[in-house]
Amino acid sequence: MIEITIGRCLIPNLLKRKGMTQADLAVITGISPTQINGYISGERQSMTLRTAKKIACTLNCSIDDLYEWQIRKL
């Protein structure tokens, strides 16, 4: 069995590399700035697969790149 825990959100690092702001990401993806801030601050720990894909496509990365992941084999 595998246990997977979502770690730190890496969206700020990805935005910085692309020279984008959270506001830019919100406009391009259609995701509210409040929602994006919630993911980054940790107030919202999970996002839908569709939301993750929108963000990943916009930032030219994979969904796995959006967060640090802790994977533990039990």
Every domain of the chain and the residues it spans: 2-73
Q: What is the pLDDT of residues 2-46, one digit of tens each?
A: 999 999 999 999 999 999 999 999 999 999 999 999 999 989 878
Residue that has been written with the tokens 């969904």 in this structure:
63
Cα distances (Å, whole numbers) of residue 14 to 20, 38, 40, 46, 58: 9, 16, 11, 18, 10
Q: Taking the mean position of all CA atoms in its chain, how far away is CA 58?
A: 11
- So what's the pLDDT on residue 52? 97
The CATH superfamily assigned to 2-73 is lambda repressor-like DNA-binding domains (1.10.260.40)
- Tell me: pLDDT of 65 over 90: yes
- Residues 48-68: what's their mean pLDDT? 97
Q: What is the pTM of this model?
A: 0.89
Q: Which candidate, 14, 4, 2, places its Cα nearest to that of 40?
A: 14
